[in-house]
């Protein structure tokens, strides 16, 4: 694993037969404009995804909790869970069809309002937004399960007391539900921070194209190209080490901040 990043790794010679290279491949990475671009794209896309992927499940869980009709609630829950079980190969194909300038539903709606159809997947200005929105739509239902379970575990007597005090539905959410699941929210946020250097290989590799390479290339696709296509395993391993170290450091920092602010953390 990690030792490959510090050697001129040769598959035939193996670990013991490969020459020590020190920080050679790390220097090569930081001198590479392509790596720096992928690094910047990863941070930007991951930050947007972290915000949407953190807030959307909470909002969805709160909304589902307020639905009174049990059959409708179960149906809606099933509908929002399903995308999680669809692979990005299939999901990416659906997105491509929806955004098609000729047959896509989105462009048909744009045309109805007098706009001109455009192939959004090849527009650099829209590509990151598409990544963030489609990721949130696919994952928020599954991520909301934990919050729904946390809400279900709250003491119903607290809600009854709030109703007797004249609290509105919104006030009950703000003053009862959210404080009750604060610990869960903090833990999920810390875990989410750990993935800040992973912008989603499966999603990006199924949606991006040469037209959006500058804004869509991320560390995962860079590592894939260097390691699998170019077979430079040492350089790919060095990039992966950087990715892992930064992710681990961010988790430690987020955990310490959480413990100081609310005395909650994962360790």
CATH number at residue 252: 1.10.3720.10
pLDDT value for 85: 92
Domain holding 60, by residue range, is 21-262
**Residue-level pLDDT, tens digit, the chain, 267 residues:** 688 888 888 777 777 777 888 889 999 999 999 999 999 999 999 999 999 999 999 999 999 998 888 889 889 988 999 999 999 999 999 999 998 888 888 888 888 888 888 888 999 999 999 999 999 999 999 999 999 999 999 999 998 999 998 999 999 999 999 999 988 998 888 888 888 888 889 999 999 888 999 999 999 999 999 988 888 889 999 999 999 999 899 888 888 887 877 776 667
The CA distance from 172 to 154, in Å, is 12
In a domain, 256, yes or no: yes
pLDDT value for 195: 84
In a domain, 6, yes or no: no
In a domain, 3, yes or no: no
pLDDT value for 260: 79
The CA distance from 256 to 267, in Å, is 9
- The neighbouring-strand residues paired with 7 are 20
């Amino acid at each position: 694993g990690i030792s490959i990043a510090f050697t001129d790794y040769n598959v035939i010679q193996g670990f013991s037969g490969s020459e020590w290279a020190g920080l050679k491949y790390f220097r090569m990475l930081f001198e590479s404009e392509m790596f720096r671009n992928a690094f910047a794209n990863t941070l930007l896309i991951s930050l947007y995804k972290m915000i949407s992927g953190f807030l959307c499940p909470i909002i969805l869980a709160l909304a589902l909790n307020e639905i009174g009709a049990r059959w409708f609630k179960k149906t809606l829950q099933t509908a929002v869970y399903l995308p999680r079980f669809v692979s990005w190969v299939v999901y990416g194909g659906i997105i491509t069809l929806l955004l098609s300038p000729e047959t896509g539903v989105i462009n048909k709606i744009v045309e109805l309002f007098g706009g001109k159809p455009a192939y959004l997947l090849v527009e650099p200005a829209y590509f990151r937004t598409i990544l963030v929105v489609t990721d949130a739509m696919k994952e928020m239902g599954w991520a909301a399960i934990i919050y729904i379970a946390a809400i279900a575990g709250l003491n119903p007597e607290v809600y009854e007391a709030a109703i007797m005090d004249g609290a509105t539905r919104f006030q009950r959410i703000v003053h009862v539900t959210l404080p009750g699941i604060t610990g869960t929210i903090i833990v999920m946020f810390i875990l989410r921070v750990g993935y800040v250097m992973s912008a989603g290989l499966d999603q990006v590799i199924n949606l991006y194209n040469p037209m959006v390479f500058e804004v869509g290339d991320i560390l995962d696709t860079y590592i894939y190209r260097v390691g699998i296509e170019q077979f430079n395993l040492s350089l790919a391993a060095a990039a992966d080490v950087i990715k892992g170290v930064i992710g681990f450091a961010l988790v430690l920092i987020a955990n310490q901040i959480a413990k100081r602010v609310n005395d909650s953390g994962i360790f």
